[in-house]
Every structure is written in structure tokens, then in C-alpha cells.
Chain A
Amino acid sequence: MIEIFQEKIRQAAAQRVPLRLRGGGSKDFYGNAPSGELLDTRSYAGVVSYEPTELVVTARCGTSLPSLEAALHEKGQFLPFEPPHFGAEATFGGCVAAGLSGPRRASAGALRDYVLGVKLVDGRGRLLSFGGQVMKNVAGYDLSRLVAGSLGTLGLIVEASLKVLPRPAAEATLRLQRAEARALEAMTGWAGQPLPVSATAWCDGVLSVRLSGAEPAVRAAAGHIGGEPADGSFWAALREQADPFFAGAEPLWRIALPPAAPPLTLEGRQLIEWGGGLRWLKSMAGADRVRDAATRAGGHATLFRAADKSPGAFAPLDAAKLRLHRELKQAFDPAGILNPGRLYREF
């Protein structure tokens, strides 16, 4: 199967035909609009190896993400970065290529933090292997992490190895009434204390907190934080953007900020996650205004879901960085055929 992908990519490179690498298509909305001849990755599927005591799972790109997570669940483990699926058809390869993380991001780390190795077909159709299945590996540049989140622009991820962790023994969700500024203060305050906080979210005056860990630790922290117990299914709905906040046709912005940044004053509604580090904004405000506000606050704004992505999905790069991006793209994909324009229009 890999040979078929390689051949297809080699031919496309020879003929300069753009390819659109795609798994289940659950994240077609993300980034700039995909284009090019379809290369469907789903035919190369399955878990290659999974040994719970090694804390590593290796799977092929077309593996169904929900079924992979179910296999981990069965052994009491999980993907700690809680990747959003955005559809039952989500694949493992698409998950790594998109690089998105869910509610546990602030405490457990992002997808890239769990990437141990990838097998990749580059833009010349070469099958390459970087990293491996071990926790510590500093041989060569860390190209596995570079490829995570690159939206298929550097190569077709045919296989990836991720670190997995045991599921927490106990979890509890609490709900508190807090205005935005006080909620932000509470979230940053908790982050600086040794508390088992595994997720936070604020919207419309309600601050939700999830605690995860050993049962006695969760119980003690719940006493410390206070509030009312709430249903833990809230977090899955938040991760999948099934929460009512995400409904409606206004553009959805994903604004990543230093967690301690003060409230953003932009028109529209906001939902805050990751202890203040992620601010979702539903707003008709102009792209320049949103991006300026994000930059001034020390972060960047992604136009996550919108009918019109003409302002570009991702915050523009400065000249030095754009040059490095182009050079890297050139190194991996000299013919420029892999998901061109999906990340930035310039390459």
C-alpha cells in the first residue's frame, strides 16, 4: 500500500500535479481550503503495535481515531492530549497532521509533545523514518514533531508512534459562577499550585473545572476549589465543539494567548479554555482587528471555522519565518505538490 502512495506522489511530482492528502475528511474545514487531486489515506489502516507497558502505540495513517482510542481505553490508557475528532470518520494520520489538542492541553501537553516517531512519504515519494518508539531520542533533527500539525504540506504521514498514558483513576467536574476577569485569575492561580486540574473552561459567567488523578487527591482538591459538582460529559462536547457556544454561522476564531493575558476586548462571544491560553471567539469583527488584538496580547489568531477564509486561516508569518517555511517546504517537497496552500497560500 505504501508503494502505491509513493508511486502516486512520484508521478504527481513529475507532472507537477497538486495532491490533496486526506483521511476521513473530518477536518476539511480546518486551514485554508484543500485542493488538488485526492489521495485517500484510509486504505492503509491498522494498529502496528501496542504494548501498554511500553506506553507507546504505533498505527497506520488510515486507522480510525475512535477505534484506536477504544483500543487504548480497553487497556486503561488514552491519548492524554484529547484530540478532537470532529466526526466519526476521523483518522489517526489526520489527527497527527492537524496537530490539534483538546481540553487537557494545558496540563498534559499538546499532540506534538506525545509524538515519538513518524514514517513519512516526502514530496519525492521517498519513504523516510524519523524518531522511533522510545521516549528519549535525540539522534538527528526532530522532524517527527515538525511534521505534526503541518497539515500534510511536508509529507504523507503513513505511520506514527505516540506516547500514551494511563487514564486517571478518578475524575470530577466542578462548576463555579465567575465573571471573566475573576475566572481568568482563578485559572492562573490554580495553574501555579500543585493541584490535579486537568481542564478548565469559562463561558457566560460559568467556570468549569475538571480534576483528574488519584482518588484522594481529586477529593482533596475538590474541597479546596469548591463549586457545584457537574457532569463530566461536558468536556467531550467541548472538545468536539458540540457545545451550544459553537453553534451559529459567525466566524469562529481560535486565539492562542499567554494564559495570564487579560480579557480580550473584541465584540462577539468568547469561550476560554486551557487556563486562559485558548480563547474561542465567535465574532463578525474584521480579521485585522482580531489578529492585531491577538498579537498585542502576545499570541496569534486562527480563523478556525468560517464560510470565508479569504483573510487566511493562519496568522501571517514575518519575513524571516516565511523564508524558513518556504525553504523547509522546498526541502521536503521540492515540486510543491503536497497540500499546497493549505497552511499558507505562499507555499
Chain B
Amino acid sequence: MGEALPVAVVAAALREFLPARAVLHEEEDTRPYECDGLTAYRQLPMVVALPETEAQVQRILATCSALGVPVVPRGAGTGLSGGALPPGDGVLLSMAKFMRILSVDPRACTAVVQPGVRNAAISDAAAPHGLYYAPDPSSQIACSIGGNVAENSGGVHCLKYGLTVHNVLRLRGYTVDGEPVEFGSAAPDAAGYDLLALAIGSEGMLAVVTEVTVKLLPKPQSASVIMASFGDVEKAGQAVAAVIGAGIIPAGLEMMDQAATRAVEQFVGAGYDLEAAAILLCESDGTAEEVEDEITRMRAVLQAAGATRMTVSNNEAERLRFWSGRKAAFPAVGRISPDYYCMDGTIPRKRLGEVLNFIAAMEKKYGLRCPNVFHAGDGNLHPLILFDANDPDQLHRTEQFAEEVLEKCVEVGGTITGEHGVGVEKINQMCVQFGTDELELFHAVKRAFDPAGLLNPGKAVPTLARCAEHGRMRVHGGKLPHPELPRF
């Protein structure tokens, strides 16, 4: 890439076909776009483009390609890994105006929506037909379906209902040179390679999505949740395995440790057992008969696994109250600490106890508290390191803490990110999870879609040079390369 083009040139090129209000470049206008949900990384975009039609998206991409200007797509900006961190020398492509639900087809059990539609709005639109969209990330009232596609978002019900990749049927959009593409179809599959699966979770690096067809599911007739207390976290972990070993796939299976329940209880009053070292929320949904049968079986298994107390929700209000604490875990933790850092590793469930003990040891080692909430059913951990960003030493210790935990996740056969994505945040840990050959193939796949590397450059897949540097960093013990870069 050559010299960055001046703002005026890029803005003028875009204003040839976009109204002036859809091309922002004054700092007061671009400032709101400087970061996504990972606020520690900030960068003012050179230009923000706010298209309203597919034709405009196509021209923006074609124009940027022709000028050699980087483009970063952005949905609702709730991402937690900096995937929508803007390019200082390019265009931030906001899809925020693509807010229409184009159709809900109750016969086909599908909805066709624009990428800026909020996750929860899809279920709201489908509700009159007794249908809903299953993936429910905690941020579902704010996050957009386009962002969910980019990150392959999960939620608390994915053990039974799957991730975004299991619930999206078709994507329409453009490659970086403005060529229209369609991946998947309203039919069960499409001819050729599974480009739909490849595009989902590709963090906006392969194409820009302008339309999404999602699968809708019939809303379960009833649901009920068991809140079970355990005297130690390891026992709670074993109880998770016991439930699954008994042939039960709960609709949701979440764990919170005592530090998390205590933080949450002050905040929302969910009625959690604060004496328990850990609690499990174990949900059943389906027909009334199924739920009754499954709750009975789950109770028996949890009892045998050493639950010290169990409460079954008696009605919908109580069920939602039990869940309210889990869903509010992040903001609740935000109240007890000036800052927190949310990790997102996944591990094989059987290693849960070991990893929890490791995290406890790290709390001592770094002198930082770390409440834990997990999607226990699928082994996806969200340890929350509490720190004060105004204290540079705490910030540094938090970073080291997180790095050790993510590397532990890889060591036990898991991954550095279960659902939040790599973005800019975990790009160094990619070097731990993958070897040079895998990374090289990732880059080759990227080039197949984007030979010039203009779409969301620098995210998700580290350059080999960066990994070499990261490797050296560890050899030399704690001396960070690029100390000028904010690292979380």
C-alpha cells in the first residue's frame, strides 16, 4: 500500500454518489465511531460512510477498491474484540441505516432482514407467528444481526439451539471490489463449497453483508429453570457433565461462582443463593410434558451430583428473574469495579475444575479479583478480571493475567475465543493457537476474497511477522513489542 490518500479526496469520491450527510469526516462527527464495545482501543476513522441502499454499498466498495483505501464494516458497534476498530487511513462503513425487516414468512419459518436490524427485533417481529430467532447474545437488545454474522455470535441457549452459523440460511452482499455475492440459500443447502459457513464468523474480512435470511423456530410452549447450589465449583462442574452424561441437553446451562452471584445480587436481586460457592442455572424448554419430564430427571441428576439446594421456577416471572442475574452479570460487575476485562475462552468441559483452579491461582499471582460466569454447557468461560485502568500497573497485570488464562485454554484443548471474536484484541493469542501453516492458509483464504487486503485489514489473523515478534516477546520476558499500542 502506498501513501494514505488525503481525506478530501476520499470524501469527494464518495460524495459523487452519496448525499453529504452520509459522508462524515469532521472530528465531531467521526468521534462516535472511534471504537466498538472494546473501548480500550480507539482510532478516529478518516471518513465514515452511512449508505442506505445496496447500490450505495456496492459503489462505496468499488470506489475504495479503485482508490486502494481500506474499508471497515460496522454494525451496532457492540463487539467485544475490536473487530470494528476504524481505519485511520480509510472508510468506516456503517450499516446502521440497514434497519428494515424485509419479510417474515411463517410458512417457511424464515425472516429476511437487513444487517442493521437488532437481534431481539427479529424475535419481536416473529412473535405474532409463534416463532423466534434462537441465538441470544447478552447484548441482544442492541447488537445487530450483521454483527452476529460477522462474529458467529452465540448466547445462553446455544448448547441446544446452536450459534449464528446454525441459524442463518443465506447471506447477500458484496466482495470488496463491489461484486455481488450470495452465500447459502433458502433451500437446505447450496451448490459448491459451503461459503455460508466460511463467511459467518469471518469478522467482516471476506465480504460486506447487505441482507440476511435467518431461520425461525417455533417458540417452545413452556420453559422452566432449576437454580442449583453447590459447595464448591469443581462439584458444580462435575454436575454439568453428569446432566449431559444422563442424556439431557438443557436449553441453557449456566454457571456463576460466588464472586459473580454476590456482585449480581446487589444489582438486580435475582434471588441467588449467596452462600453457595457456585450456582447452576439449568433450563428445560419444550412442550409442557417434555419440560415436566426433563425437570424431574435434571433434579435427580443434580441431587446425585451434590447440589446443596435447588429451586425450580414456578412461573415465567420467576424464570426470568433467575435469568436476569445471569444476563446482568457484566453490568453488575461494572458496578463493583472501576473497570473489568471480559475473557472468552472455551475449554473441554471435563477440564473446567482445572481451569477454575488455575484462574484462582492467577488471582493470587496478580493480586486481582476475577468473578466467573460461564456458558457451562458448552465450556465457554467468561472470567471477568476486575481492575482500575487509571493504575498502569493494574492494567499491565490484567493483561498478563488474561494472556495466561487464554493460553491455558489452548493448552487444555480449547480456544482463545468462543464467541466474541479475535478482532484486534486476541490477535497475539492467535499465534499460540495456530501454527505458521494454518495462519498462512487463513491469509490465502483472505486473498481469495480480497487480494489487495482492503477489507477490515489487520484484524482476526496476525501476520507471520507479528507472531514472530510475539514469540520473541515471550522469550525476552514481559517486554512488549509496540508499547505504544493499546492492548485491550
- Chain A residues near B (Cβ < 8 Å): 51-56, 76-77, 99, 105-106, 109-110, 112-113, 122, 126-130, 132-143, 145-146, 148-150, 154, 165-167, 169, 188, 191-196, 213-217, 219-221, 256-260, 274, 277-278, 298-300, 302, 314-317, 320-321, 324-325, 327-328, 330-332, 343-344
Contact = CB atoms under 8 A, between A and B. Distances in A.
Given A146-B194, A259-B108, A109 B162 contact: yes
B201 A142 contact: yes
Interface in B218-262: 218-221, 241-242, 244-245, 247-249
A194 B249 contact: no
B201 A134 contact: no
A209 to B, nearest CB: 16
A134 B418 contact: yes
Nearest to B217: A194
Given A134-B347, A139-B426, A192-B129, A217 B186 contact: no
A263 to B, nearest CB: 14
Contact of B290 (A165, A213, A260, A328): A213
A134 B346 contact: yes
Nearest to B181: A320
The 6 closest A-B pairs by CB, nearest first: A327-B448, A331-B444, A166-B247, A145-B197, A216-B289, A299-B187
Given A169-B247, A216-B293, A277 B219 contact: no
A82 to B, nearest CB: 14
Contacts of A317: 191-192
Contact of B448 (A134, A188, A324): A324
Given A138-B152, A325-B193, 4 more contacts: A128-B437, A142-B201, A278-B188, A317-B191
Q: Which of A110, A324, A330 has most chain B Cβ within 10 Å?
A: A324
Question: How many of chain B's residues touch chain A, expressed as a range?
Answer: 35 or more
A97 to B, nearest CB: 12
B104 to A, nearest CB: 11
Q: Which of B130, B154, B197, B247 has most chain A Cβ within 10 Å?
A: B197
Given A258-B108, A259-B108, A214 B294 contact: yes
B380 interface: yes
Contacts of B201: 138, 141-142
Contacts of B194: 99, 112, 145-146, 148-150
Given A138-B201, A328-B448, A130 B438 contact: yes
28 contacts: A53-B241, A53-B242, A105-B188, A126-B437, A128-B435, A133-B413, A134-B346, A135-B159, A135-B380, A138-B151, A138-B201, A139-B416, A145-B197, A192-B218, A193-B130, A215-B293, A258-B185, A259-B188, A278-B188, A299-B187, A300-B191, A314-B191, A314-B192, A320-B175, A321-B181, A324-B195, A324-B448, A331-B444
Interface string B137-178: 000000000000001101000110011011000000001000
B248 A321 contact: no
Interface in B345-366: 346-350
